Structure 1
Amino acid sequence: MIVFPNAKINIGLNILRKREDGYHELETVFYPLKLQDGLEFIENHTGEVCFSNSGIEVGGNPENNLVVKAYRMLAADYSLPGVDIHLHKVIPFGAGLGGGSSDAAFMLKGLNDFFGLNIPSETLMSYAARLGADCPFFLENIPSFASGIGEKLETLPLSLAGWHLLLVKPPVEVGTKEAYAGVHPGIPDIRLREAIQLSVNNWQGSVVNDFEVGIFQRFPEIETIKEKLKERGAVYTSMSGSGSSVFGLFRAEPMWRDSDFPEGSFLWTEVF
């Protein structure tokens, strides 16, 4: 079976408070992109899991990969045969695009469908939440308002149809722990649920990402990308998630030069 896990962007991200368990309450909007990995699995007769990778190198112990963890999770509760898994990685790491979470969610869906496990949607959502706070989003893959630690989802009637996106991920990775270290939680004057109802033309300054202040101080090259997108005509610019990718929304096809962005940057464009 072959599936194509897609990326997402965060539109706005407010860190409201730190909980007693160490996690942070937040509110954000998840919006799906067409940027995709390729994920294939086939049944084997060894009873084992064999993981391989192409594209961006994943590295590390395969047992730590979220795709393999998704298989192990279902195999613990359902009778599954061994599988050969191949992941062609396109979505960059450390970008705030949810690539690993998407891979895991699509693995859960794929196993459920291919092997006829008939796992109800709510149960599949629970499995996904155990793998990552943003994993459940990729099961439905529609614009959503997320709260809690990102796992509480509400469908959002938001369409960016006709808008052009330019996304830039510099050769810098921002760790989640590092990102949260620079955040000062608090309730914003304009809550995201209200701000997102504004026209895209009015988002800048109202739909904000609380991670930006601390991360821009540590990685000024990321802030420079945001400013360059504005210079090139972006109506709205923001870092996605905890970074390091930055995106701009344009009314028309964006124009840029390679020299606008750090050497080695990953660039992605699409029309919604």
Structure 2
Amino acid sequence: MIQFPNAKINLGLQLVEKRPDGFHNLVSCFYPVGWSDALEILPANDEPSFTLSGLPVPGEPKQNLCWKAYELLRKEYQLPPIKMHLHKVIPMGAGLGGGSADAAFTLKILNSTFDLGLSDEILQNYARQLGSDCAFFVKNEPVLAVEKGDVFEEINLDLKGWHIVLVYPNLAISTAEAYAGVVPRTPEKDLRSLLKQDPITWKNEVVNDFELSLFPKYPVLGELKEQLYQMGAVCASMSGSGSTVFGLFSGNQPENVSFPAEYSVWQGTL
């Protein structure tokens, strides 16, 4: 079976407080987008294997979250050997949740392939063991994420028909680096309430708190945000704790999409 693990963006990201366990409580809207990897899993007759292609992925293959997801279920359900191949397209350190999506889709494919009969809730609980935002990709629909980003509340938000441009400036920012510079604070405004308003009001209201420390350190991020506004974006922001900057456009896609050749750019309709 082959599926296409997709990325997500953060519509607003409020860092509320540091937790006793070292993580941070946050509030953010996770929204799926179409930039995708490709993941194939097939039963194997011999030893299980995991191979990679596309963008280079650091570390040993069997340290990959996809393999860890397989091992997690294998321990409890005595899964047979598999052949797994991941073609990596979503950049890493980009704030798009690509690795988390790969892990969650691994769980979903294994559940389907081997008829495990696991509910979405059970799959989410397994996904939470792999990473804070992995569980989002089980249902893969807009949510308001709270606590570590692994507890979800329903949100009535539909951006269907909106155009999005995502720009990754070939700059990987690790989660540890991003969090090292933040100062948690109580939000002045409720994100859920802000997202109920027309997106034309989001420009100065729906913000990503990581921008405050990362934009001075990496000026290219602020420059990209401004460029997207100059192209006609209604709202532009950094996504997650990584370096991708996205712009939302109402109506037709912008005609003047031009970025350096070394950047990765994806655009499509939500």
Q: TM-score range by the shorter chain?
A: over 0.9
- Structure 1 counterpart of 2:18, one-letter code: K
The residue type paired with residue 7 of structure 1 is A
Q: What is residue 241 of structure 2 aligned with on the other side?
A: 242
Q: Does 1:44 align with 2:44?
A: yes
Alpha-carbon distance between aligned partners in 2 of 1:124 and 1:44, rounded to the nearest angstrom: 23
The answer to whether the 8 A contact 1:142-1:155 is kept is no
1:225 alignment partner, SS class: helix
Number of the residue aligned with 1:18: 18
Letter paired with 2:62: E
> Is the Cα–Cα contact under 8 Å of residues 169 and 244 in structure 1 kept in the other structure?
yes
2-structure distance, mates of 1:29, 1:226: 19
Counterpart CA distance in 2 for 1:177 and 1:69 is 21
SS of the residue corresponding to residue 58 of structure 1 reads coil
The 1-side partners of 2:117 and 2:186 are apart by 41
| Structure 2 Cα separation of the partners of residues 263 and 219 of structure 1 | 19
SS of the residue corresponding to residue 128 of structure 2 reads helix
What does residue 30 of structure 2 align with?
30
State the partner residue of 1:160: 159
SS at match of 2:15: strand
Residue in structure 2 matched with residue 90 of structure 1 by the alignment: 89
Rate the CA distance shift 1:263–1:182 in 2: closer, same or farther, 3 A. farther
Distance 1:68 1:122 in 2: 21
Q: Deviations over 1:32-88 (max 9, x none)?
A: 111111100111122x32111111122421121000000000001111111111111
Name the residue aligned to 2:207: 208
TM-superposed CA distance for 1:120, in Å, is 2.7
Shift of 1:218: 0.9
Evaluate the alpha carbon distance shift between residue 216 and residue 263 of structure 1 in structure 2; reply closer, same or farther with a 3 A threshold: farther
Q: Which amino acid aligns with 2:98?
A: G
1:172-183 to 2 correspondences below 5 Å? 172-183=171-182
How many angstroms apart in 1 are the aligned matches of 2:87 and 2:74? 23
The 1-side partners of 2:242 and 2:119 are apart by 33
2-structure distance, mates of 1:253, 1:115: 41
- Judged with a 3 Å threshold, the aligned counterparts in structure 2 of structure 1 residues 45 and 257 are, in CA distance, closer, same or farther, namely closer
Query: Which residue of 2 is the match for residue 269 of structure 1?
Result: 267
Alpha-carbon distance, 1:269 to partner: 0.6
Query: Is the partner of 2:268 in helix, strand or coil?
Result: strand
The 3 A distance-change label for structure 1 pair 40 and 179 is same
Question: How many percent identity over aligned positions?
Answer: 48
Q: Which amino acid aligns with 1:133?
A: S
1:57 alignment partner in structure 2: 56
What CA distance in whole angstroms lies between the structure 1 residues aligned with 2:50 and 2:58? 11
What displacement does 1:263 show?
A: 4.1
Q: Contact 2:120–2:139 (CA<8 Å) still a contact in 1?
A: no
Q: Secondary structure at the match of 1:173?
A: coil
Deviation by residue 1:157-206 (Cα, 9 ceiling, x = unmatched): 11112211111000101111111112110112112111111110000111
Aligned pairs for 1:141-160 (under 5 A) are: 141-160=140-159
Report what 2:104 is aligned to. Answer: 105
Decide whether the 8 Å contact of 1:145 with 1:153 is kept in 2.
yes
> For 1:32, what is the secondary structure of its paired residue?
strand
Where structure 2 has 5 or more consecutive residues not aligned to the other structure, the ranges are none
**5+ residue gaps, structure 1:** none
Structure 1 partner of 2:228: 229
One-letter identity of the residue aligned with 2:16: L
In the alignment, what sits opposite 1:124? 123
Distance 2:117 2:257 in 1: 50
TM-score, normalized by length of structure 2? 0.97
The whole-number CA distance in structure 1 between the counterparts of 2:154 and 2:109 is: 23
**The residue matched to 1:131 in structure 2 has which SS?**
coil
Task: Note the aligned Cα RMSD (angstroms).
Answer: 1.1
